[in-house]
Amino acid sequence: MAAPSQVIRSYGDVDGIRDNVVHLNPGAGGELVSSSIEFVGTGNVLHVEDGAKLRNTRLRFLGNDSVIHLRRSARYTEVVATLFHESVLYLGPGSSFTSAARFIPSERRHVIVGSDAMFSSRVAFRTADPHLVYSAHDHRRVNPSRSVWVGDHVWLGEDTLFLKGARVGSGSILGARAVVTKEIPSNTSAGGVPARVIGTDVFWTRPSVHAWTQDQTDRGASHPGDEFLFASDADTLDVDALEKELDRAATSAERAAWCERLDALTSKNRFCIGR
């Protein structure tokens, strides 16, 4: 018999959750607005950093032993996520959302997003196709599920879709309606279906120009800093090794501990690709 559904709609509901682990406190400035968290399975871990502001967020654990790890931002976090068995959704600190981003980590694969991500409207992630595709020659499956990794300070354009195996290096820009299926190096712009690199050696900053005066436009014609340029160095992480470590985790507690270790790996160039 399936486990009964348990739902959190306010901070006061947290104490009523059974057979799952929940860290969800308002902290300083935390909010839970028009949001819900549903547990159908057991052994899952939800960790929301104290002070995080959730709005229009719907988190669903429809299986067992999965982990959602959400870091705090000064802005509202807006996430719609469905997890099944033994998957991880990790969202780093400082993200912003124009509307709720959608995540479906499934078949024991994961979605990992670094810090300072800028989500435009209707961004979506999937780690599975999800239906089975086989070779007509040997009848072997040809579409295994794969995790999705996005580095730090990445601009995710409107309607961007990240499919299984997508990897994006820090500092990059994904154009509107891009479908990302492969590796995108750091400090590049990419777009199209499937997404391909269309610009190299670029970086972006957060100010929006929509309401700028001529004076602001003039002052924004150049940016003196290089804080958003990334380069591979001794602190750049081996993502394949990190994922193998995550795959070796046998329990949700071990997956949650992996997320906490990733929190501590804060070097600028940790998610640099190809520079």
- The tens digit of pLDDT for each residue in 162-177 reads 999 999 999 999 999 9
What is the pLDDT at residue 107? 97
| Statement: the pTM of the whole predicted model exceeds 0.85 | yes
- The per-residue pLDDT of the chain, averaged, comes to 97
- The tens digit of pLDDT for each residue in 212-224 reads 999 999 999 999 9
Q: Please, are residues 211 and 244 in contact by the beta-carbon 8 Å criterion?
A: no
Cα angle for residues 163, 196, 100 (degrees, 5° grid): 40
The whole-angstrom distance between residue 25's C-alpha and the CA centroid of its chain comes to 21
6-264 to CATH, choices 2.40.50.140, 3.30.420.40, 2.160.10.10, 1.10.540.10:
2.160.10.10
Mean pLDDT of 148-163: 98
H-state helical runs in the chain: 214-219, 239-248, 252-264
What is the pLDDT at residue 270? 98
Binned at pLDDT 50, 70 and 90, residue 27 comes out as: confident
Q: Which residue has the tokens 């046998």?
A: 250
